[in-house]
Amino acid sequence: MDLKLDGISHAYDATRVLNNIDFTIKAGQIICIIGPSGCGKSTLLRFIGGLERPTEGQVLQIGDPPAESLNPLTYIFQDFALLPWRTVRGNISLVLEDHGIRGTEADTIINDVLARTKLSDFGAALPKQLSGGMKQRVAIARALAVKPACLLMDEPLSALDSQTRELLMDDLVDLWLKEKYTACYVTHNLNEAVRLGHRVVVLSRRPGQVRDIVDIDIPLEDRLKHPALLQEKQDYLWNLMREEARAADLELLDA
Ligand SMILES: Nc1ncnc2c1ncn2[C@@H]1O[C@H](COP(=O)(O)OP(=O)(O)OP(=O)(O)O)[C@@H](O)[C@H]1O
């Protein structure tokens, strides 16, 4: 299933937040959205997930979600959103219970997503026993359990230290290589965008509009082998963003 954003504009009262956004999230691709603070990235993700409706435009689903998908549009947040009193397995089973899936059927799904996120030995652990990186892997496992058509990821690594972030980027690449999930990934971090994105949508300052859509045409598995090429892409993105970010900063100070 592809997702097509068609002429999305939005205002909160008198504040125009997004302006005529058009792009497509193709099945099997990771699309990163970058842009200065307050340009509307998280708002756009809420529209894609159907949590809110834009003032103008629409998000079209082209094609069907995977047949076994329980929740086609599934979020992964920066703060993991795990229930502290439930074990790792319990946190994952919760989303399956919502769909009436219990017993051996649930166990099979949980075992599969724990294996894919390298958490098989930690099913009985409570969130407080886990590092930040492992908590986010549990959140990813929980999201995968509902077989989403598209993962909606809002700054998923920004609560983590830089080494853990590196490891999780490797994990996200490994996961994608094993099963080509679709994701829309909002980030401030240009390094994450060039490591993980097949395409990077660059938004201007508020009201966010598409400044550029940059293809990163190096296979995900080869990116670390080409640091100079990645740096070139990152520099290109930063040049697009530099003036926008500076102006956005001043706007926030004026507010
Ligand atoms: N529910 C809301 N009601 C009113 N204004 C809102 C609401 N949600 C967001 N905004 C405003 O819309 C603008 C865009 O917010 P949004 O969080 O989407 O930006 P962002 O690009 O994700 O920001 P950041 O990079 O800082 O996380 C901001 O000015 C914000 O204050």
Q: pLDDT tens, 52-66? A: 999 999 999 999 988
Q: Is 205 in the pocket of ligand 1 (CB under 6 A)?
A: no
CA of 12 to the centre of ligand 1 (A): 9
Pocket mutation for ligand 1, best pick of 8, 13, 17, 251 (most atoms within 8 Å of C-beta):
17
The CA-based angle 222-154-63, given to 5 degrees, is: 75
Coil, strand, or helix at residue 177?
helix
Cross-strand pairs, 12: 15
Please state the atom number of ligand 1 nearest to the C-alpha of residue 39.
21
CA–CA gap between residue 112 and residue 149 (Å, rounded) = 17
Q: What is the pLDDT of residues 87-113, one digit of tens each?
A: 999 999 999 999 999 999 999 999 999
Ligand 1: which residue has its CA nearest to atom 8?
Answer: 43
Q: How far is CA 189 from CA 69, 70, 162, 219, 221, in A?
A: 30, 31, 11, 20, 19
Structure tokens at 233: 């892409």
Q: Which atom of ligand 1 is nearest to the CA of 46?
A: 18
* List of residues 6+ apart from 250 with CB closer than 8 A: none
Both tokens of residue 253? 């100070």
pTM to 2 decimals?
Answer: 0.93
ipTM above 0.90, yes or no: yes
Burial class (CB in 10 A: 0-12, 13-18, 19+), 60: exposed
| Atom 17, ligand 1: residue with shortest CA distance | 42
Q: Is the CB of 40 under 6 A from ligand 1?
A: yes
Q: Which residues of the chain have pLDDT under 70?
A: 252-255
